[in-house]
Amino acid sequence: MRVISISFILAGTLVLTGCKDSSDRPLSYDKGVYAGKAEPKLTANQVEALRHRGALQR
């Protein structure tokens, strides 16, 4: 009996594991909201560098 229930639990776990989506894609959809990976932000220094760089195009 115990063996049966253990194997049942194991089998159940196994089956449920198959349902788990291992990818990191978003599973819920919220209209108008970007749900992908976040974009790393530029630092203040990087932004300042870009302003200077822009002036080189003169």
Partner 1 sequence: MARMKFLVDAERCIECNACVTACKNENEIPWGINRRRVVTINDGKPGERSISVACMHCSDAPCMAVCPVDVFYETDEGVVLHSKDLCIGCGYCFYACPFGAPQFPQVGNFGSRGKMDKCTFCNGGPETDKSDAEFKKYGRNRLAEGKLPLCAEMCSTKALLAGDGDVVSDIYRERVVSRGFGSGAWGWGRAYPGQGA
Binding of residue 36 to partner 1 (CB under 8 A): yes
Binding of residue 28 to partner 1 (CB under 8 A): no
Residue of the chain from 6, 10, 11, 50 that contacts partner 1 (CB under 8 A) = 50
Binding of residue 9 to partner 1 (CB under 8 A): no
Binding of residue 27 to partner 1 (CB under 8 A): no
CA atoms within 13 A on the CB side of 20: 7
Q: What is the largest CA-CA distance in the chain?
A: 83
Binding of residue 37 to partner 1 (CB under 8 A): yes
